[in-house]
Amino acid sequence: MALKFPNSMDECIYFTNRTIGSGKAVAWVYRKPCPKCKKATMGKPVEKGKKKIRALEYVCPGCGYREEKAEHENSLMMEIQYACPHCKKSGEATTEYRRKSFNGIQAYVFSCTFCSQKIGITKKMKEGKGGKDIDED
């Protein structure tokens, strides 16, 4: 299973490059094609020539189809290229684009394909239980 690395940030809803302890991870979420017209990709609404940052919905620029933010984001998948901080092997994974509780912090959680240890991608500068850094970026 070879993941396709995005060519541009315009293709992604989310992109991050993190150091996780002694490992690292690059994660991204592609934009979803419009379920109605299948021609354009869904994105945040554009008002006065600018994207609305805190929009509560996603809009198709081609046909105008609208979808609630929660419903839209729950249908997306995150793709990850990583170097495991536990076994030091490199691999690829996919997971839901949904934060879960991991060591007391909200994180995108996936498992290493080699050692099956759970790995979390958190927001920058968050600390897990016990005071140790989960992400060092």
DSSP code per residue over the chain: -PPPPPS-GGGEEEEEEEEETTEEEEEEEEPPBPTTTSSSB-B--EETTEE-TT-SEEE-TTT--EEEHHHHHHT-EEEEEEE-TTT--EEEEEEES--EEETTEEEEEEE-TTT--EEEEE-TT-B-TTS-BS---
Least confident of 1-15, 23-37, 116-130: 116-130
Reply yes or no on whether the pLDDT at 34 is more than 70. Answer: yes
pLDDT in tens, 74-133: 999 999 999 999 999 999 999 999 999 988 889 999 999 999 999 999 887 666 665 444
Reply yes or no on whether the pLDDT at 25 is more than 50. Answer: yes
Percent of the chain with pLDDT over 90: 57
pLDDT band at 1 (very low <50, low <70, confident <90, very high): low
Q: Residue 59 has what pLDDT?
A: 93
Q: Residue 124 has what pLDDT?
A: 75
Q: How many CB atoms lie within 10 A of CB 68?
A: 11
Reply yes or no on whether the pLDDT at 29 is more than 80. Answer: yes
Largest pairwise CA distance in the chain:
50
pLDDT band at 39 (very low <50, low <70, confident <90, very high): confident
